[in-house]
Amino acid sequence: MAESGKSFTARVLVVEDDDVARIALAEQLADAGHEVTACETAEKALKAAGGDSFDVAVSDVRLPGMDGIEFLENLRAVSPGTLVIMLTGYGGVEDAVRAMKLGAADYLCKPVSADEILMRIERVLEFRQARNDRDRLQQEVETMFSYQSIIGHSDSMQEIFRLVEMVKDIDSTVLIEGETGTGKDRIARAIHFAGWRREYPFVPVNCMVLSRSLLESELFGHERGAFTGAYKAQPGRFEVAGQGSVLLDDVDDIPLELQGKLVNVLEQRKCERVGSTRSIELKCRVLCATKVDLASMVEEGRFRDDLYYRMNVVNIRIPPLRERRDDIPWLADHFLKVYSEKLGRQVRLITPQAMQIMHAWDWPGNVREIEHVIERAIALCTTDRITPDDLPDQMRGGGDGQALFKLNLPPEGKIDLQKLLHEVEGAAIKWASALSRGRQSAAADLLEIPRTTLQAKLQKHGQD
């Protein structure tokens, strides 16, 4: 089948025992650009379909010998990809319903014009094209976010993939732990798209960037007039997900006063919109991700233990890149291919010397950092290969990046360690604030601490 402008050129099989109607319809379909084969019986049509492929079959229900319903059933075995439009006489609604149940794409009641048949052919072909496009896009998304697409040849990553396979179809809450940049979001999506919930939405919620009131509204929804600016009712992310998955990212930033409500939601599988007393039953699966050790936060009283235990039913810890150095060459080669194509550069390889430097680097930013390093190297290199000169100074042990801090300690005497640590902390916070242009969530991300912790430290150092 070929597409011509907004119309389709199709191979059409016409099955009609009335000679005049069959010949007239075949001629009109051919005049419209379709390639037509016309048969007076279902038996001849099936023989034609067995030796050739047709996009659409237009068949009368009332035929001598094998009728149109039997033809439809037999055609599905011979040519399952052929779309069937049934033509029924007056009072043939029961036949039409039966045909649709058996897989017919459409039906028309006689008498019917050739223009109407042409329009229906166009419509069923457009529907099939849209369905094929949807299926293709769905397959691309599932492939993109499957755990098979995640670079991880190390034993630790293979163990994570094994866990993903085990939990993909169960309803238990999963807590994904890992430093910033390790790919917690990718693992969460892999769990979703590997299981049966892939047919439903994947809904991420970044708990770090939303205030307490906004986060509550985003999660649970709100009714009209529930607060200033609530001009209309809004469903929450748990509702929107339906039977899909909700990813609560950066759960370590959920305010304590909201954690109690979340415990009840996870236990009872129900929630109420802000400003409502009506309970909404939840059918979604909840996945959680954290960049810090929640168990330590529980011990410090900064995270509810009951919420922690409710979230931590299944635990997946993603190791930092420095703990799985075997994956560094694989990741580097992957991003080399991606950004060489994306940036239109003919960069073919990473030299062994450059790879040795990369393998020795601790990658504090993890996978996200190695991606940015490779992109930068490809953008700036002047040859077809990445050399040590194309890597950042701090990775090569030169420039100001060789050490985070250079201390001028006295050769003798005493130092005030607490004062020194206070000054180092203040300098680091000032650096992160400048680099993030005052955006607290971004600064906290650079320092790998919760936003609430950063706010307390800003007050402590008088930088708020």
236-275 tens-digit pLDDT: 899 999 999 999 999 999 999 899 999 999 999 998 888 8
User: 227 or 69, which is more confident?
Assistant: 69
- Of 75, 66, 58, nearest to 10 by C-alpha is 58
- Of 288, 221, 311, 297, nearest to 256 by C-alpha is 297
Please tell me whether residues 334 and 350 are part of one structural domain. Answer: yes
Does the residue 384 lie in any domain?
yes
Tell me the sheet residues that pair with 84. Answer: 57
Does the residue 409 lie in any domain?
no
Q: Is the pLDDT of residue 178 over 90?
A: yes
Please tell me whether residues 49 and 170 are part of one structural domain. Answer: no
Please tell me whether residues 127 and 160 are part of one structural domain. Answer: no
The residue with tokens 């794409």 is: 105
Q: Is the pLDDT of residue 107 over 60?
A: yes
Average pLDDT over every residue of 384-395: 92
Please tell me whether residues 384 and 435 are part of one structural domain. Answer: no
Does the residue 356 lie in any domain?
yes
Tell me the sheet residues that pair with 317. Answer: 177
Q: How far apart are CA 332 and CA 338, in angstroms?
A: 10
Q: Report which residue type is found at 428.
A: A
Digit-coded pLDDT (tens) for 192-235 = 988 999 889 999 999 988 877 789 888 998 888 777 777 888 88
Structural domain harbouring 327: 323-402
Average pLDDT over every residue of 376-405: 79
Does the residue 345 lie in any domain?
yes
| C-alpha separations of 142 from 182, 196, 198, 205, 367 in Å | 20, 11, 8, 20, 21
Does the residue 412 lie in any domain?
no
Tell me the sheet residues that pair with 85. Answer: 58, 106
- Of 271, 268, 263, 265, nearest to 310 by C-alpha is 263
Please tell me whether residues 204 and 236 are part of one structural domain. Answer: yes
Does the residue 411 lie in any domain?
no
Q: How many CB atoms lie within 10 A of CB 201?
A: 16
Give the chain's end-to-end CA distance (angstroms, integer). Answer: 66
Residue 134: what pLDDT? Answer: 66
Digit-coded pLDDT (tens) for 334-383 = 899 999 999 999 999 999 889 889 988 999 999 999 999 999 999 999 99
Please tell me whether residues 26 and 88 are part of one structural domain. Answer: yes
Residue 72 and residue 86 in contact, taking contact as beta carbons nearer than 8 Å:
yes
Q: Which domain CATH number covers 435?
A: 1.10.10.60
Dihedral pair phi/psi, residue 38, rounded to 5° = -115, 135
Q: Which domain CATH number covers 337?
A: 1.10.8.60
Average pLDDT over every residue of 154-162: 91
Does the residue 70 lie in any domain?
yes
Residue where a domain terminates, one of 253, 285, 319 = 319
Residue where a domain terminates, one of 319, 347, 378 = 319
What are the start-end ranges of the H helices in 146-207? 155-167, 184-194
Domain count, the chain: 4
Please tell me whether residues 252 and 369 are part of one structural domain. Answer: no
